[in-house]
Amino acid sequence: MPAPITFLSDYGYGDEFVGVCHGVIARRCPDARVIDIAHAVPRHDVRAGALMLAAALPYMPAGIHLAVVDPGVGSNRRAVALRLAGEARILVGPDNGLLAAACERFGGVAEALDIGRSPARLEPVSATFHGRDIFAPVAGTLAAGEPLAALGDPFDPATLTELEIPGARLRDGALLAHVLGQDHFGNLMLDATGAQLSELGARPGDALVVELPGRSHTARYGSAFAEVPAGELLLYEDSRGMAALAVNRGSAAQLLAAEGAGVELTVRRA
């Protein structure tokens, strides 16, 4: 049974891009098993994609992890395949920071290959769809059993592009954080960790004040949506281990008018 392939991208579901990559993989490895992590990373948002990949990977079987959020496709950014140090996993995608958080989570990179001119690529390589022409065929060829070293040119992992993530910090007894994004339910993911919430000194059940420019809201510090009445705000550690804001049976993004990443907010004890 071939190693499983997971697949994350910002291709969305409005086109045949995802399906074409699946087809290319199946042509290289007819019995490949592909798990779609998600294809709704906000368009060209490398940071959101990187966070999603790093959050999802521990739940994925070890295998080949294809990820494509690639605003620089066709430029001279590298196309890479990276063998992780910590587990038997290979990441395949553009070298623009997208793979960085996942690499860090699994102990760094043991082996790095430039696959931009890989013998596995589809010819001719287009300037706009390397998912189809480089990344998917390399992933499928790996799943079919080809050794990594045969598929590209080795380079020093220390030269890989890093990822910048804004960080939350505690100051004067308050937590200054940023919205990283929102999920399908309107829950807001913050750049603070669950551990930083604890450092705030809040205890489960405590009332907290969430301040945004020009407005403030009261939130309950808890762990389950149902701990607050419908329509009220909950601050909790989400299933990724990050601080998050939710409204029970409602949308925190809507209540706080904080749609979109980057919004700054402050959390303090009431």
- Please tell me whether residue 239 binds its own copies under the rule CB under 8 A: yes
Q: Which of 23, 101, 97, 37 is nearest to 65 (CA)?
A: 37
3-state secondary structure of 46: helix
Cβ pair 48, 67 in contact under 8 A: no
Tokens of 5: 């392939």
Are 78 and 114 spatial neighbours (Cβ–Cβ below 8 Å)? yes
Nearest to 66 by CA among 138, 149, 115, 123: 138
Q: Is 37 in the site for its own copies (CB under 8 A)?
A: yes
Distance CA 255, CA 233 (A): 9
At closest approach, how far in Å is the CB of 154 from its own copies?
A: 26
Q: Are strands 79-84 and 264-269 parallel, antiparallel or unpaired?
A: unpaired
Residue among 10, 124, 149, 118 nearest 66 (CA): 10
Chain positions 134 to 173 lying near its own copies, rule: CB under 8 A, are none
Query: Quick check: helix, strand or coil at residue 110?
Result: strand
Among 87, 146, 225, 256, binds its own copies (CB under 8 A): 225
List Cβ neighbours of 11 (8 Å cut-off, separation of 6 or more): 17, 18, 21, 39, 68, 131
Residue 54 or 176 having the CB closest to its own copies: 54
Q: Which stretch binds its own copies (CB under 8 A): 48-56, 109-117, 161-169, 206-214?
A: 48-56
State which of residues 89, 98, 133, 160 lies at the interface with its own copies (CB under 8 A). 133
Among 72, 108, 157, 166, binds its own copies (CB under 8 A): 72
In the list 50, 55, 242, 252, the residue contacting its own copies (rule: CB under 8 A) is 55
Q: How far apart are CA 48 and CA 178, in angstroms?
A: 13
Site string for its own copies, 166-205 (x = CB under 8 A): -----------------xxx--------------------
Question: How many of the chain's residues bind its own copies (CB under 8 A)?
Answer: 60
* Closest CB 97 distance from its own copies, rounded Å: 16
Q: Which residue number, 176 or 233, has a Cβ lying nearer to its own copies?
A: 233
117 makes contact with its own copies (CB under 8 A): no
In this chain, which stretch among 56-64, 98-106, 163-171, 253-261 interacts with its own copies, using CB under 8 A?
56-64
Q: Note whether 219 and 208 are within 8 A (CB).
A: yes
Instruction: Write the DSSP string, 134-148.
Output: IIHHHHHHHHTT--G
Instruction: Please report how close the Cβ of residue 163 comes to its own copies at its closest, in angstroms.
Output: 17
Q: Which residue lies nearer to its own copies by CB, 130 or 196?
A: 130
254 counts as binding its own copies under rule CB under 8 A: no
Other C-beta atoms lying within 10 Å of the C-beta of residue 38: 13
Residues present in the chain in total: 270
- Summarize as ranges the residues that interact with its own copies (CB under 8 A): 1, 4, 6, 8, 11-20, 22-24, 26-27, 30-31, 33, 35-40, 43-44, 52, 55-56, 59-61, 71-75, 126-129, 132-133, 183-185, 223-227, 236, 238-239, 246, 249
